[in-house]
Structures are given as C-alpha cells and as structure tokens.
Amino acid sequence: MPIHPLIRHAPDPDHPGWGTWELPDDGRFAASIGKLLVRAEGPGKARVRMFPERAQSNLSDVMHGGAVMTFIDMAFFAGGTLAGAEVAYAMTLDCETRFIAPGRLGTPLDAEIEVLRETGRLVFLRGLVVQTGETVAAFSGTLRKAKG
C-alpha cells in the first residue's frame, strides 16, 4: 500500500542514506516547514531532518517555538511511517513538548522518533529534537488512525 497518494518518499541524491519526504507544495500548511529528510534507525525508530531558515525564526533569530512544534508534528507522520506505524491517515490527538534549548538557524535539526506502541486505532510516540549533539526539545504524542 502506498504511504499516501500525495506523499512521495524517495532517496535523496544530496544526502546519501536519507530519503526525501515530499509533500505537494500546493499551499498547505505543511509546506511551511521546508524540505524534510527521513531515515530508519532500527525497529520502531526513525530520524527526520529539517533545515531551519529565517522563515522559521522568531525575533531573537532562533527557531520559533511554533516551528519546532510543527516540525515535531510532521515528524510524527514522516518518522512514524518509516518506523513502521500506519499513520498516513491519522490525526494528532496530543503532543507534549518540553523546550530545552533554542534551535539555531542554518544548522540541520533532527527529530529522533520512537514508536512506543501501536493499537488498531492509536499510535504512541516519543522522541527528542536534537541539533549538533544538543537537545532542543523532548516530546511525546498520540496519533489516532482514521477509520478505514
């Protein structure tokens, strides 16, 4: 079964070992986060990468908290899918985020995703947002699968 008819996951020629998680740039909110890379990190785990730019900054020239939370939400789906969960048609029920350090612009930002449990209707995830070895945020969340 394809991930989703509007999502394409393909190897990224500029980043060996990574795939590009491509959503259509049709004006939807998800496009505001920019390019996303994904790779599996073992059973039930994946890593999602974004490239923070000025568009995701606040007035202090670091990442806006809302941009970090948007990245986390996108990582639930991109990383969750690569980690083996069936989340393409899911929706976020909750997301707890603890900001630990500012995310810097111009340096790749990674979300390390772990699928804790998947039931028939729910997926429980947790992870860290990291940048050059420093933890930017810790998070956990629950996704509810759409009726199918």
pLDDT on residue 60: 97
Residue 5 has pLDDT above 90, yes or no: no
Percent of the chain with pLDDT over 70: 92
- For the segment 10-43, what is each residue's pLDDT rounded down to a tens digit? 788 888 889 888 776 677 787 888 889 999 999 9
- Which of the two residues, 9 and 97, has the higher pLDDT score? 97
pLDDT on residue 11: 81
* pTM, to two decimals: 0.91
Give dist(CA 133, CA 90) in Å, integer.
31
Q: What is the mean pLDDT of the chain?
A: 91
Report residue 8's pLDDT band, with 50, 70 and 90 as the boundaries. Answer: low
Which residue segments constitute the domains of the chain, with CATH numbers given? Answer: 8-145 (3.10.129.10)
pLDDT on residue 1: 40
Give the tokens for residue 141: 């969340």
Residue the block writes with tokens 């199918």 = 148
Give dist(CA 82, CA 46) in Å, integer.
6
Give dist(CA 17, CA 26) in Å, integer.
27
Count other C-beta atoms under 10 Å from residue 91's C-beta.
10
